Amino acid sequence: MSLKERLQQAEKAKTLIERLEETSALLDKYSYKGIHNEYAELVEKLFSTEKFGLFDVTAKKEKEFEVILKFMRPNGALFENINKLQSDPFLRYSLPKKFLSRNRIKEVEGCEISVTAFEYFFYRFAAFIVDNTIKHKMTTKKHGNVTYDSYHPDDHVIHHLFAIYLEYFIPVDGIFPIEKTSLIGAPTLPSPRTPNRTCSILKRPLASSSTSLIERPQPGQTWRSETFILIMSEKLLDVQDRICPNQDQMRALRTMIKHMHNCGGSLLKNSSSNEISYTDFTKQNEKPTLQAKISSEVLSHHMEPAISRIFRICFELWPLDNTFRIVYEAWLSYIQPWRYKSETKRLTLENCDEWAPFVKRNIDCYTKNVNDAYRRFLRLDIKRHANAKGLHRIAWIFSQEGLLQMINATKENDTNFSSRSLNKEHELEENDRLAQELIRTIHVANREMTDKLTAGNKQSWIEATFFGPESVSQDHRQVERVIDILHTSAVNLAKSHNMIFELEALNAEREVKSHSVPDHIKMPGFNATLTDLGRQQVMSGRFQLDVAHWSDPDFEDPVRMDEFYPIVSPLVKLSHLSAQSEKWEQIQEKLPGFLMPLFFFVFSHYDPVTEAYVHPRLKTRLLARMSVIIWLAITVALAAISGWWAFAFKAYNTFLVIIMLANFVSFRRRIARFVAN
């Protein structure tokens, strides 16, 4: 039986664990020459079928998760055979162009793509993250009355593998994997005599120039590391205009950003000159580490030219849901390299000079992307906890001491900066305007949530009597947390944009707005009339008009949706005739004082504008309501069927009296609150 047949037989195993274990055993058994013919098909099945678990296995499935990691980790069975295939420099694999980045496709147009086993695997790995829909663990949670799905991208095996590859091929500790000269896959250059031209995908390693930072003790020592990070960075940063990248692409991009910062690549001081220095190392008179040199070239040559545009696309086109957290976390990770090289993880005035070159090279991330972020949050409901938390993080970061000074210094020293504008305004001025709008939006949101909490804390008499004192609900605590988060966000925004006085003015307005009215005059025979100043105050939102309107529900209200309109008009006329009767005053004179509130509740309405009861009448219009008609019809039908007419109407009237008394108690409490206010 050939290796191909044995691999097909292993693929048909019942469980994922059996499939991977049998495949590993076969790879260990055969030589690299026997594996060569089946290698491309094996990698194809790994990334195109769900039989090997890369589409849906998460950390929740512990056994399957560990088996996949064991099979695909750098020292696993798969990479052992990749290393064997690399030992023969003549073994090449045809790679379809669809797995390349768009820029790379243009470079190799008209060529037949031939790559090594190592390159073939990582081109497929990168394309799998970017082009496929990976299934993640979705946990349904219920918060209050809202049910939502919790997204757990970090649990997926593909992201664990990417983190493992990063740490192995570009280790933070500088201990690179040993590479023998025989394993170096030097690309084959196209031959002019070959009918079908063959192009090398990697025309040069990251450090092939005469001014390269990378000094190899032996030729090609970091070839795999450079190849791996070049393939991944090209694919992850390949984003088309008006097409938003997927969640896994942004998650992997953030993982790579954090790793590059951890390796010290963001300490690159000057990427435009031939002499590149690192402030972190020159202070100690030490040479920059190898991992810092590789990561710095990835940041300067690949990320910095493209990263701001990617974030702009995401801020504009990303769906308005909780997955937006992936985007702003990637952005915040990129613009905070000091988090990974500082013990405090916060920018201070003492280390500003160290990070000023990075801020200068990536100034669009600190200006245009801030503009995009502010506009995004103005479109979101910031009263949601997830959105409030995201705004809080952004405001907190840009309130760091020294960051605003570095941005302003870049603006003053960069002659090209002033020529770039958004909507014909300077970026920083536009950001200040959007920040001011955000602060006002936060102020309004906090006011609405506070008023809602205040109204929700008032218990009805029935609730207090039968259910006891009200306990603070989980929803109540959540709203309180959101209010605190938004308040802190407003303070940090005011600090970073020098708007403390504006924030204090808003807070002062909140204190006096309850008893303040816009400027007005009173004319005989008319209500209060606004002056020009009063109109400006109302239009600016500083004051609100205390408008009260009430219409008589029996005579003035239009026909409602819940009313049977053919009988509304005659019932209104009947109610109007009853209101003209003179016997109502005689009834009021005979009633004892404690029954007067109940009398007005049954036969009258309270007008909050005049703060008085309207003239009594028979509320016959209530009989036009659909609910009354339906219940009355049900009662009549049951009485007709059973013959128990007296019992049916007795039960109906008892139920009616109970509802009326409950509504009366609630009505009295509402009137008492209205009079108190």
Per-residue model confidence as pLDDT tens digits over 341-388: 777 677 877 778 888 899 999 999 999 999 999 999 999 999 999 999
User: Which is more confidently placed, 463 or 483?
Assistant: 483
Asked whether residue 190 is assigned to any structural domain, the reply reads: yes
Q: Is the pTM of this model over 0.85?
A: no
Angle subtended at Cα 423 by Cα 418 and Cα 426, rounded to the nearest 5 degrees:
30
Question: Based on the domain organization, do 203 and 290 belong to the same domain?
Answer: no
Asked whether residue 351 is assigned to any structural domain, the reply reads: yes
Which helix H or strand E contains 139, and what residues bound it? strand 137-143
Mean pLDDT over 465-476 rounds to 56
User: Which is more confidently placed, 3 or 196?
Assistant: 3
User: Which is more confidently placed, 565 or 481?
Assistant: 481
Asked whether residue 595 is assigned to any structural domain, the reply reads: yes
pLDDT at 470 over 90: no
pLDDT at 216 over 60: no
pLDDT at 221 over 80: no
Asked whether residue 526 is assigned to any structural domain, the reply reads: no
The pLDDT score that the predictor gives to residue 417 is 52
The pLDDT score that the predictor gives to residue 510 is 58
The pLDDT score that the predictor gives to residue 109 is 83
* Of 154, 184, 207, the domain-final residue: 207
Token match 């005059």: residue? 521
For residue 113, report the phi and psi dihedrals to the nearest 5 degrees.
-85, 120
Secondary structure class of 148 (helix, strand, coil): strand
The pLDDT score that the predictor gives to residue 93 is 94
Question: Based on the domain organization, do 244 and 362 belong to the same domain?
Answer: yes
Which helix H or strand E contains 150, and what residues bound it? strand 146-152
User: Which is more confidently placed, 261 or 465?
Assistant: 261
The pLDDT score that the predictor gives to residue 466 is 44
Question: Based on the domain organization, do 167 and 243 belong to the same domain?
Answer: no
pLDDT at 96 over 50: yes
The confidence band for 205, taking pLDDT boundaries of 50, 70 and 90, is very low
Q: How many residues does the structure list for the chain?
A: 677
The confidence band for 541, taking pLDDT boundaries of 50, 70 and 90, is low
> Count of domains in the chain?
3
Secondary structure class of 366 (helix, strand, coil): helix
Asked whether residue 385 is assigned to any structural domain, the reply reads: no
Question: Based on the domain organization, do 203 and 256 belong to the same domain?
Answer: no
Give the rounded percent of residues in the chain with a pLDDT score beyond 90: 32
pLDDT at 197 over 50: no
The pLDDT score that the predictor gives to residue 392 is 95
Question: Based on the domain organization, do 184 and 53 belong to the same domain?
Answer: yes
**Long-range CB contacts for residues 335-343, cutoff 8 Å, separation at least 24:** 335/362, 335/365, 335/366, 335/369, 335/397, 336/397, 337/261, 337/266, 337/267, 339/261, 340/258, 340/261, 340/262, 340/266, 341/261, 341/264, 341/266, 341/267, 341/280
Question: Based on the domain organization, do 185 and 258 belong to the same domain?
Answer: no
Mean pLDDT over 228-244 rounds to 93
Question: Based on the domain organization, do 194 and 302 belong to the same domain?
Answer: no
Asked whether residue 420 is assigned to any structural domain, the reply reads: no
**Structure tokens of 315?**
């801020």
Asked whether residue 421 is assigned to any structural domain, the reply reads: no
Closest CA to 74 of 143, 1, 176, 142: 176
Beta carbons of 129 and 236 less than 8 angstroms apart: yes
The pLDDT score that the predictor gives to residue 154 is 66
The pLDDT score that the predictor gives to residue 311 is 96
Mean pLDDT over 438-455 rounds to 86
User: Which is more confidently placed, 415 or 95?
Assistant: 95
Question: Based on the domain organization, do 107 and 202 belong to the same domain?
Answer: yes
The confidence band for 415, taking pLDDT boundaries of 50, 70 and 90, is low
Report DSSP letters for 540-559, one per residue.
Answer: HTSS---------TTTTSPP
Question: Based on the domain organization, do 158 and 245 belong to the same domain?
Answer: no
Question: Based on the domain organization, do 172 and 287 belong to the same domain?
Answer: no
The pLDDT score that the predictor gives to residue 524 is 57
pLDDT at 177 over 90: no
The confidence band for 565, taking pLDDT boundaries of 50, 70 and 90, is confident
The confidence band for 130, taking pLDDT boundaries of 50, 70 and 90, is very high
Mean pLDDT over 559-573 rounds to 86
Q: Please state, in angstroms and rounded to a whole number, the distance separating the CA atoms of residues 586 and 593.
A: 14
The pLDDT score that the predictor gives to residue 287 is 53
Going through 306-389 in order, the beta strands assigned E by DSSP cover none
pLDDT tens readout for residues 249-307: 999 999 999 999 998 766 655 444 333 344 444 344 445 678 888 888 888 889 999 99
Question: Based on the domain organization, do 168 and 247 belong to the same domain?
Answer: no
Which range, 390-399, 524-533, 647-656, has the best average confidence (pLDDT)? 390-399
Q: Is the dihedral of CA 335, 338, 340, 344 positive or negative?
A: negative
Mean pLDDT over 165-176 rounds to 88
The pLDDT score that the predictor gives to residue 145 is 44
Taking CA atoms, 264 is separated from 303, 361, 471, 615, in Å, by 15, 16, 52, 82
Question: Based on the domain organization, do 278 and 324 belong to the same domain?
Answer: yes
Domain of 627 in residue numbering reads as 565-676
The pLDDT score that the predictor gives to residue 600 is 82
Q: Please state, in angstroms and rounded to a whole number, the distance separating the CA atoms of residues 534 and 556.
A: 32
Burial of 165 per CB tally in 10 Å (0-12, 13-18, 19+): buried
Asked whether residue 62 is assigned to any structural domain, the reply reads: yes
User: Which is more confidently placed, 362 or 667?
Assistant: 362
Burial of 562 per CB tally in 10 Å (0-12, 13-18, 19+): exposed
Secondary structure class of 69 (helix, strand, coil): helix
The pLDDT score that the predictor gives to residue 174 is 80
The confidence band for 31, taking pLDDT boundaries of 50, 70 and 90, is confident
Taking CA atoms, 263 is separated from 169, 173, 299, 333, in Å, by 12, 8, 11, 14
* Of 366, 384, 413, the domain-final residue: 366
* Of 366, 401, 420, the domain-final residue: 366
Q: What's the mean pLDDT when you consider all of the chain?
A: 79
pLDDT tens readout for residues 64-84: 999 999 999 999 999 999 999
The pLDDT score that the predictor gives to residue 3 is 87
pLDDT tens readout for residues 305-335: 999 999 999 999 999 888 899 999 999 999 9
**Structure tokens of 580?**
């003209």
**Structure tokens of 450?**
């506070």
